[in-house]
């Protein structure tokens, strides 16, 4: 039981928006400026859920994932003119491949040092196959996000054990949220930031994103356009029978429009700012799913697995990224796209003011949907 029950939809939506709004206000304080609003929203939601103020799962959260998340992509991409973005996208792809390599290295090291064979009683009795299944599951989710996590749950058979899969999901949710907080804090660590190539590509774009002229009409038109892009994208993926291409299709549609009709798309003022606000609500909804009790009670070894995986991922990311002269914002955005997917990467980039990295973040996140499932499946068969 929670203070706000799962079926009190308006109260839960109010809680998410209050957390988001309070995070914006807290960001103006001295401590909040260092934490960033995204981190404050995540940690506040984790605390609220585990203190039983709000539930870990509710239809209101599902509404955010189903309706807010797809709309975020068009809102962030209205000015994504590809003619101006070749340089940033190329560098981001390299950064994303580095992040993916870090995830695979982390999985292999974790499997080598931990005995995972008896952790999950899968349908198959071969212990090696159980271990391979967990390697594939976490490799997929930390290369492309939750879309790949669900797919590998079916492919590996781990989803058949409800208690284990619930604990694995709780662990994934918690550490994804905590890792997002770590990524948001890294650029503010001066000792680390001084050791990387300085990011010098975002100021002009950032100024362009904050034009005057935001009005009720421009906000309404921006939201109408964003929802329309989602509706058209869903119609296309439904017609071709490939719903897994939803985000890729929406992204392509918006990029085509933004590149072909930049002047018209520039009139949708306020869409980006609206997207940032909804992104904070999204961060809170994600973080609320982190169930500390379930994670510790059912499968504490999963915590060790994920800590090793993400630690190696971060070490590889920063070491290789520095050698390749990638900037810290590029590496943070790429890691975000790998570990959490195409939705949080642009949201965090927007919240941090890296406006030139928003579109590349979406694009490599979409790449992760394909690469993560492939890599997870390959590891499952290779180790099994």
Read off the tokens for 207: 């100024």
Task: Supply the pLDDT for residue 293.
Answer: 78
Query: What would the mean pLDDT of 133-146 be, rounded to a whole number?
Result: 85
Query: What would the mean pLDDT of 286-315 be, rounded to a whole number?
Result: 83
The length of the chain, given as a count of residues: 384
Read off the tokens for 336: 């975000």
Torsion of CA 331, 333, 337, 340, to 10 degrees: 110
Query: What would the mean pLDDT of 257-275 be, rounded to a whole number?
Result: 88
Task: Supply the pLDDT for residue 382.
Answer: 87
User: Regarding predicted confidence, which is higher, 384 or 197?
Assistant: 197
Task: Supply the pLDDT for residue 125.
Answer: 46
User: Regarding predicted confidence, which is higher, 24 or 147?
Assistant: 24
Task: Supply the pLDDT for residue 122.
Answer: 46
Query: What would the mean pLDDT of 338-347 be, rounded to a whole number?
Result: 81
Comparing CA positions, the residue from 31, 329, 370 lying closest to residue 206 is 329
Q: Residue 119's pLDDT band (boundaries 50, 70, 90)? A: low
> Residues 344, 369: contact at Cβ < 8 Å?
no
Task: Supply the pLDDT for residue 335.
Answer: 94
Task: Supply the pLDDT for residue 124.
Answer: 45
* 170-199 pLDDT, tens digit each: 788 778 878 888 888 888 888 898 888 887
User: Regarding predicted confidence, which is higher, 176 or 337?
Assistant: 337
Task: Supply the pLDDT for residue 288.
Answer: 87
Query: What would the mean pLDDT of 155-182 be, rounded to a whole number?
Result: 76
pLDDT at 67 over 50: yes
What is the residue extent of each domain of the chain? 9-383
Query: What would the mean pLDDT of 93-99 be, rounded to a whole number?
Result: 94
In angstroms, the Cα distances linking 214 to 203, 267, 271, 314, 349 are 20, 9, 9, 39, 21
Task: Supply the pLDDT for residue 102.
Answer: 96
């Amino acid at each position: 039981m929670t203070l706000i029950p799962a079926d009190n939809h308006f109260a839960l939506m109010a809680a998410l928006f209050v957390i988001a709004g309070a995070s914006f206000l807290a960001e103006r304080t001295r401590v909040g400026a260092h934490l960033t609003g995204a981190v404050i929203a995540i940690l506040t939601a984790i605390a609220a859920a585990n203190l039983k103020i709000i539930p870990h799962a509710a239809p209101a959260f599902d509404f955010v994932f189903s309706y807010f998340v797809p709309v975020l992509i068009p809102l962030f991409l209205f000015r994504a003119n590809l003619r101006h973005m070749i340089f940033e996208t190329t560098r981001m792809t390299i950064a994303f491949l580095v992040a993916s390599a870090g995830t695979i290295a982390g999985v292999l090291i974790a499997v080598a040092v931990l005995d995972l064979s008896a952790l999950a009683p899968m349908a198959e009795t071969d212990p090696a196959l159980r271990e391979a299944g967990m390697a594939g599951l976490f490799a997929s989710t930390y290369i492309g996000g939750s879309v790949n996590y669900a797919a590998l749950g079916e492919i590996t058979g781990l989803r058949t054990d409800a208690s284990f899969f619930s604990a694995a999901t709780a662990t994934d949710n918690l550490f994804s949220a905590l890792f997002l907080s770590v990524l948001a804090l890294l650029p503010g660590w001066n000792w680390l930031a001084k050791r990387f190539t300085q990011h010098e590509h975002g100021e002009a774009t950032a100024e362009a994103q904050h034009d005057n002229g935001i009005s009720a009409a421009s906000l309404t038109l921006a939201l109408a356009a964003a929802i329309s892009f989602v509706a058209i994208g869903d119609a296309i993926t439904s017609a071709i029978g490939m719903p897994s291409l939803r985000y890729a299709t929406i992204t392509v549609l918006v990029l085509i429009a933004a590149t072909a009709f930049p002047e018209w798309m520039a009139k949708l003022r306020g869409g980006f700012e609206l997207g940032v606000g909804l992104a904070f609500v999204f961060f809170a909804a994600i973080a609320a799913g982190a169930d500390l009790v379930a994670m510790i009670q059912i499968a504490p070894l999963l915590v060790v697995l994920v800590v090793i995986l993400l630690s190696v991922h971060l070490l590889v990311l920063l070491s290789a990224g520095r050698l390749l002269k990638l900037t810290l914002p590029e590496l943070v955005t790429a890691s975000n796209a790998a570990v959490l997917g195409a939705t949080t990467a642009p949201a965090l980039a927007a919240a941090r003011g890296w406006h030139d990295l928003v579109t590349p973040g979406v694009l490599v996140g979409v790449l992760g949907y394909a690469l993560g499932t492939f890599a997870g499946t390959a590891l499952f068969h290779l180790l099994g």
